[in-house]
Structure formats: structure tokens, C-alpha cells
Amino acid sequence: MNIIYVDNNATTRVDPAVMEAMMPFYTVKYGNPSSMHAFGGNVAEDIRHAREQLAALINASPQEIIFTSCGTESDSTAIWATISSLPDKKHIITSRVEHPAVKNLYEHLAKKGYKITTVPVDRQGRLDLDYFHDHLTDDTALISIMWANNETGVIFPMDVISTAARERGIVLHTDAVQAIGKIPVDVQKNPVDLLSLSGHKIHAPKGVGALYVRKGTKFTPFLIGGHQENGRRGGTENVAAIVGLGKAAMLASENLGDTQAAVARLRDRLEQGLLSRVQNAMVNGDTDSRLPNTTSISFEYIEGESILLMMNEFGICASSGSACTSGSLEPSHVLRAMGIPYTAAHGSIRFSLSHYNTEEEMDFIIEHMPPIIDRLRQLSPFWRQGKPVETMLTGAECPI
């Protein structure tokens, strides 16, 4: 069966050019960059080159990049490094829609006595900036707010957030795992202090990430061990993956303009096609400030998990905004924070595209989704005779 992969916020296909750049480091250039002999030592040059390529993508200097194993490690490192460097400050401000890589760590820190303020979002997933400004205090150790949301694609105003952080002298961390490679991210224009990113979201392999640490930012290593990464992260470097991340970063900066605009056109074609063919469907999130590749669509009165299973029969791979794997069948914390009604949040599907997608694939999805939604609604207790049950039970249409 042909696979139609529209789950690129979960992970991406490794670019063939990235794969090619990595291969020698498994076969002929397998030395340890810390070795004294030239066979190993020369590999350090390749890491240096990858560091330059990655730094260029975000307009940083290479010395400000630390390679890690994933976005989660970058997030944890940024957060632990900051609070260990500022032991007297016990307040952290974050948002209600962070990825679990950040959210669950703050829940853990709350149990350890930290005061965690979570800034709400509105129905469009936009950050409540008044609330944000009002809750910055002299005790705030860290502002930690994602650049773009993984479920809805909504982009947060990093210019406003970084200005506030600068004015108050508060350390600013951003989880830019979803923003990188999709929109311009420039750490000079938007002066964040710490920025997390992950290789497998930008067509590099899984198991590599990076943390940007602005020069002068107080930093305590999270992984303490060898002297690698200038003493800031112990552990033998994942050389092949680091080289792959460097190459992917270079390709991502080449692809930012026209390629991302083309991805946005595909996304819009899909979105409009589905909204015009399926009743009681709506887009979640601010469509004016959104990643070019992402759309979260709620198909009301049915279950996202069932939709995914039926899409799977056609080889269409996407994600849902409910988490029935947890056994709770609760919609995601992101959609709940936005105040999306349960009947809509439960039936939400995230489509996340890449430049590997085609118009034909979008048309295939547009053709196959409406019958899937129809079939599931026929089984739904909330849907009767082509309408939601609640409509039938209110006003003039009430059958009783």
C-alpha cells in the first residue's frame, strides 16, 4: 500500500542528502573525535563544520551550540541549567500548551517547591500577553515558552516575549523544536537565551538535537562526564547524526522561502477541500499566525482515534488530538487549554506536511476523508439523520 505521510510534526523522513553525508561516519570515518590519533581527531573537524551549519540556520555563533541527543534533552538541559545557576529564584513562567518535554518537567518541579505560572491561551491558541506581563516577578528565574505549538502550529510572538525578558533581566528559554526549518528563527532579532531543537523534525535522524546557549548565559551542565561540547555536555558525540543535523540545517535554510510557501499551499488545499466537503468541521488555532505545514481540524461528534484507524486503512498517517492511550480518553491539554468543546476536541486530527507531499496526495485525502467521517457519524450517539443530536433537541427542531 502507498503511504501518505502527513505526520511530519511527529517525525520526518531523513533527506537522502543527509543520509549520504552521514554514511562515511559509520563505515570509514568511525574514529572518536576525542582521540589523540589523526584518524579520530579529524572527525572533530566534521563536528565543527556541522556546528557552523546549524549556527547559521538560527544566526548564532558556533560556540553557542551544544549538540544533544534530542529535543527533550535540550529542553531538560536548558531548564535544569538555569535553575541550578539561579538557586535563590523559585518562580518559572511557561504556557499552558507546552509539549510534554517541558510541561511534565514543570509538573515535577512544582512538586519540588517551584512556583510555576502557566500563561493561558485564547480560543485561537494565542498567548494571553497581559497575563504573561502581569505575572513576571523579581523571583522569576526563567521564562520558558515554545516558539510554535506542535498540535495547532500556532506561532507565539517571540519578539514581545524576548523584549519583556530583556527588560526584566530574566533568562528566556524557548522550545523551538517545531519552528525550526519551517519559519525563520533568528536569535539576534528575537534575543532568546536558550533555544531547543531536534534533528528528526527537520529531515535529520532521530537521536540528535541541539541547544543554543547565548554567550554570557549562566550555564551548569546537565550531563556531567567527559570534556565534550566544551565541557557543557559529557558523552561521546553521535558523530554521524551530528553531521546529518548540520546538513539538514543547511538544507532547511535553503528551503525556508519558496519551499515552505509551497508546503503552505498544499496545506491550504487540504484544509479547504476538507472544510468544504465535511459539515461540522473546523480548524483549531490562529490561521493568521501558524506554521506553514500544520492544520488541526476537528470533525465534531466522533472520535479522533477511530478516524485515525480508518485513515490507516488507506495508508494515510496523521495524529489525533486525543490521548486514549492514557486510558482516560481525555482530549489533549492543548485543545482543552483553548476551550475547544469536548465534542470537537475529541474528533481532532492533526495533519502536518512536508515538502515531500504532493497535490495528488492532498486530493486523495480530500476524496477519502468525507466517507470515513460519514461512516463514523452513523455510529455516533451524538449524530442522527445527518445532524448533531443536540440540534434536534433544541429550539424549533426539537422532535418532542
Residues that bind ligand PLP (CB under 6 A): 70-72, 99, 101, 146, 150, 175, 177-178, 198, 200, 209
Residues 270, 142: Cα–Cα separation, whole Å: 39
Residues 203, 186: Cα–Cα separation, whole Å: 20
Q: Measured from the CB atom, is 211 or 302 closer to ligand PLP?
A: 211
Residues 372, 75: Cα–Cα separation, whole Å: 38
How far apart are CB 120 and ligand PLP at their closest, in Å?
18
Angstrom CA distances, 249 to 243, 245, 345, stand at 10, 6, 34
Residues 313, 316: Cα–Cα separation, whole Å: 7
How far apart are CB 101 and ligand PLP at their closest, in Å?
4
Residues 280, 299: Cα–Cα separation, whole Å: 6
Q: Measured from the CB atom, is 33 or 71 closer to ligand PLP?
A: 71
What H or E segment, with its residue span, contains residue 24? helix 24-27
Q: Measured from the CB atom, is 238 or 306 closer to ligand PLP?
A: 238
Q: Measured from the CB atom, is 105 or 340 closer to ligand PLP?
A: 105
The strand pair at 316-317 and 4-5 is best described as parallel
Q: What is the largest CA-CA distance in the chain?
A: 86
Cell numbers placing 118: 502557566
How far apart are CB 272 and ligand PLP at their closest, in Å?
26
Q: Measured from the CB atom, is 99 or 214 closer to ligand PLP?
A: 99
How far apart are CB 49 and ligand PLP at their closest, in Å?
22
Could you tell me if residue 108 is left (phi over 0), alpha (psi between -120 and 50 degrees) or otherwise beta?
Answer: alpha
How far apart are CB 82 and ligand PLP at their closest, in Å?
17
Contact indicator for 274, 281 with CB cutoff of 8 Å: yes
What H or E segment, with its residue span, contains residue 344? helix 342-345
Within 191-279, where are the H helices? Answer: 228-231, 239-255, 258-277
How far apart are CB 177 and ligand PLP at their closest, in Å?
4
Residue nearest to ligand PLP (CB): 71
Catalytic: 324?
A: yes
How far apart are CB 296 and ligand PLP at their closest, in Å?
13
Give me the phi and psi of 153, to 5 degrees please. 80, 0
Q: Measured from the CB atom, is 150 or 260 closer to ligand PLP?
A: 150
Please tell me whether residue 182 adopts helix, strand or coil conformation. Answer: coil
Which one-letter amino acid corresponds to residue 378?
Q
Half-sphere exposure of 377 (CA within 13 A, CB side): 23
Cell numbers placing 188: 539576534
Catalytic residue among 70, 317, 324, 398: 324
Q: Measured from the CB atom, is 89 or 99 closer to ligand PLP?
A: 99
Which residues are catalytically annotated?
324
